[in-house]
Amino acid sequence: MSVLTFPVLLGAGVLLVRMGRLIRRSAMLVASDEGGESGFRTSVMKALSRVVVVVGYVGPGAAAIGYLQLAQTILFPTALTLWMLGLLLVLNQFYVNLYGLITGADEEAANQALSPTLASFATGLAALPLLSLIWGARWTDLTELWTRVGKGVQVGDTVLTPRVFITFVVVFVIGYALTRVVQGVLKTSILPRTKMDKGGQNAITSGLGYIGIFLAALAAITAAGIDMSSLAIVAGALSVGIGFGLQNIVSNFVSGIILLIERPISEGDWIEVGGRMGYVRDISVRSTRIETFDRQDVILPNSDLISGVVTNYTRGNSVGRVIVPVGVAYGTDTRLVEQILLEVAEAHPMVTVNPAPSVVFQRFGADSLEFEIRAILRDVNYVLSVKSDMNHEIARRFIEAGLEIPFAQRDIWLRNPEVLSGGTANASANDTKGGGEAGAKPPAPTRPANTAALDVSDMHGSTDPEGNADD
């Protein structure tokens, strides 16, 4: 009998060694696909390959020296375990493909999804009794363990048994799945055909999701027969402590619901809040994500959007105003400037015809005559490009018309320039007079008695203290 069994054990060992090497090669391929980094999956596969190879060598060796029972105990269960693991991997790929078929997600997104992972985890838990039987557990031991687990755990007046837990999970998963299906149908098939804006569509979809999850949890508790009345006092005490510790989160949650209902902002709006400006990309229950013009994501708590001042540039429509300031030199024909600026504004394709653009002679500035082009744009998102186009066209038209765009300059007027000249002459005379004395110090310059201190008004004055005009 031993002679007949040994070839079978030897063949099983060779098969396990080959399987271990294949598993290791697969692990190396997975690592290369991940950029050379060894993740959790790669590490598990490498460890499994080592164990299988060791068993493949130890089993036939033990049989060769007479330990047939030991060889049978480690070789055949290891082979059956590998077969079961292969079956679990096939089922996992089936769950991933089924999820991708239902949701329309690609393979990478389906692999990262939670639902296939949970289904594979549940299948793995269901396979544990079979693995126990493979490795020598008796059926009576499993039934006794199940009987002990079936008695459940006493929590208040409710006994939590596996049946209660499974019922709760199954009903909740079904309700959650139905909620997601209804959300998908509304988002892709029904709401896009209505006249509702995108923000309203997202608000309805998100609100339906929260209501569906709440109803699914309520139905799961009812179907499982869980009595929550005994936990009311404990839940009330916990809610007080949680309320103090998580008041900011609760405030953001309530603010998120208000944003979804009132919809002062919607996805795609150009807003400014707290000195930050950008486009709204996502509105969740706790926070809102804004993409700035530097392509940076800013996460704002919803409470800031409710309690703070928010400027929405595209609320309801994308029409907005652009203001282009222009300065010209003093002495320029203002009517000609107004005509040129008006023609530039009217010629731009983004400027609306009604209301028509206007040109305002704003003020007499310190360096220039200041004008402004004020125009309404069809899409305020292009305000910067419109400003740039208008400035280029204004520069070209001013050059053709010979108009000057001045730069900042200052003219300084001296009130009594002859006093400064006289002071310099007196100082020179004193130097000449005292030049014959060795070591004599030149006298300190004296200020004329009739000279007053210069002030700011003297910089622009046109008369001397006696009221006579300056030369």
Q: pLDDT digits over 99-132, tens only?
A: 888 887 787 888 888 888 888 888 988 888 888 8
The domain of 454 spans 411-430+449-471
Show which of 150, 169, 199 is a domain's final residue: 150
Question: Does one domain contain both 306 and 338?
Answer: no
pLDDT 10s digits, 395-450: 999 999 999 888 877 778 777 777 766 655 555 555 554 444 444 444 444 444 44
Model confidence at 348, pLDDT cuts 50, 70, 90, reads: very high
Question: Does one domain contain both 343 and 455?
Answer: no
Question: Does one domain contain both 303 and 324?
Answer: no
Show which of 281, 312, 343 is a domain's final residue: 312
* Orientation angle between helical segments 2-33 and 68-103, nearest 10 degrees: 40
Q: Give the C-alpha separation, 143 to 132, whole Å.
A: 12
Q: Give the C-alpha separation, 414 to 423, whole Å.
A: 15
Burial class (CB in 10 A: 0-12, 13-18, 19+), 110: buried
Question: Does one domain contain both 1 and 133?
Answer: yes
pLDDT at 407: 82
Show which of 312, 341, 362 is a domain's final residue: 312
In a domain? residue 253: yes
In a domain? residue 394: yes
Question: Does one domain contain both 299 and 378?
Answer: no
Question: Does one domain contain both 41 and 95?
Answer: yes
Q: What is the mean pLDDT of residues 279-307?
A: 86
Q: What is the mean pLDDT of residues 210-219?
A: 88
Question: Does one domain contain both 106 and 18?
Answer: yes
What amino acid is encoded at 163 in this protein?
R
CATH of the domain at 380: 3.30.70.100
* Average model confidence (pLDDT) across the chain: 80
The answer to whether the predicted template modeling score (pTM) of the entire model surpasses 0.85 is no
In a domain? residue 168: no
Q: Show Cβ contacts of residue 372 under 8 Å, excluding neighbours closer than 6 positions.
A: 323, 324, 325, 326, 359, 360, 362
In a domain? residue 238: no
Q: What is the mean pLDDT of residues 67-95?
A: 88
In this predicted structure, the answer to whether residue 56 has a pLDDT above a threshold of 80 is yes
Q: Give the C-alpha separation, 401 to 334, whole Å.
A: 13
- Which of 34-38, 76-80, 142-146 reaches the highest mean pLDDT? 76-80
Question: Does one domain contain both 304 and 326?
Answer: no
pLDDT at 308: 83
Domain count, the chain: 4
Question: Does one domain contain both 23 and 138?
Answer: yes
In a domain? residue 2: yes
In a domain? residue 219: no
In a domain? residue 160: no
Closest of 377, 387, 263 to residue 318, by C-alpha? 377
Q: Show Cβ contacts of residue 415 under 8 Å, excluding neighbours closer than 6 positions.
A: 454, 458, 461, 464, 470
Looking at the chain, the whole-number percentage of residues with pLDDT higher than 90 is: 17
Question: Does one domain contain both 79 and 124?
Answer: yes
CATH of the domain at 267: 2.30.30.60
pLDDT 10s digits, 440-462: 444 444 444 444 444 444 444 44
Question: Does one domain contain both 112 and 255?
Answer: no
Q: Give the C-alpha separation, 354 to 357, whole Å.
A: 8
Question: Does one domain contain both 336 and 397?
Answer: yes
